[in-house]
Amino acid sequence: MIKEVIVVEGKQDIAAVKRAVDAECIATEGFNLLPRTISRIDDAYKKRGIIILTDPDSAGERIRKYLAERFPEARHAFVPREQADANNDIGIEQASPAAIRDALGKVRLHEWQPSNEFSWQDIMTAGLSGVPDAAARRAVAGEKLGIGYANAKGFLYRLNHYGVTRCEFNEALNSLAAKTRQDSAVEEPNYGN
């Protein structure tokens, strides 16, 4: 059983998490956080700690930001957008148990004092902005690092605020390079020699 209480958006998200792991969950019911829901989250935060696992969309990010400000020592888990997309819907309820377990295995703590380890130059040099496949590259790197998908500015913020080390960043870039080489490898034609 996971010690922390997992905070998700809805009841279907709770069902998806429970298919993946043994954990207690609280649903925010979207951004309409009622006082009793905030009270339950606050109790869990003080007694056991919480992991915020919101949908990988703009509404989920707004909820995450609100909860992170209110509960600064909450931990964060991110399911990559492409792993939470099914039936024309994006959300934790669409993620497979393996995707949820993987996200919970890469939990991060939001640091209010950014590390400033990474700069805009790092983003540009890594091809995470300013190139045709930058969004796809950020998605793969975000999955590898456990910080999820974000636009370039948001990705830089997450690198500096979620404790990503230079070594982790370089490993993610190396895996990106290996994937690119693998994807672009062309088989030699067989001419029936």
pLDDT (mean) for 95-104: 96
Mean pLDDT calculated for residue range 164-189: 76
The 10s digit of each residue's pLDDT in 17-67 is 999 999 999 999 988 889 999 999 999 999 999 999 999 999 999 999 999
**176/82 same-domain check:** no
Last residue of a domain, one of 69, 86, 110: 110
Instruction: Count structural domains, the chain.
Output: 2
- Decide: 79 and 99 in contact? Cβ < 8 Å: yes
| Same-domain status, 106 and 138 | no
DSSP class per residue in 104-169: HTT-EE--SS------HHHHHHTTSSSSTTHHHHHHHHHHHHTS----HHHHHHHHHHTT--HHHH
How is residue 90 written in tokens? 């994006």
The predicted structure's pLDDT at residue 180: 63
Domain span including residue 119: 114-192
Helix and strand tally (H, E) in the chain?
8, 7
Residues 94 and 149 in one domain: no
Residues 69, 155 within the same domain: no
Residues 87 and 122 both lie in one domain? no
**Residue at which a domain ends, from 110, 143, 168:** 110
Contacts of residue 107, Cβ cutoff 8 Å, sequence gap at least 6: 51, 75, 76, 77, 146
* % of the chain surpassing 90 pLDDT: 78
- pLDDT above 50 for 186: no
- Residue 59 phi, psi (nearest 5): -65, -40
127: left (phi over 0), alpha (psi -120 to 50) or beta: left
Distance from C-alpha of 147 to C-alpha of 162, rounded to nearest angstrom: 7
Rounded Cα gap, residues 154 and 182, in angstroms: 28
Reported pTM? 0.81
Helix 134-145 crosses helix 166-184 at what angle (to 10 degrees)? 130
Q: What percent of the chain has pLDDT over 70?
A: 92
Neighbours of 72 (CB within 10 A): 12
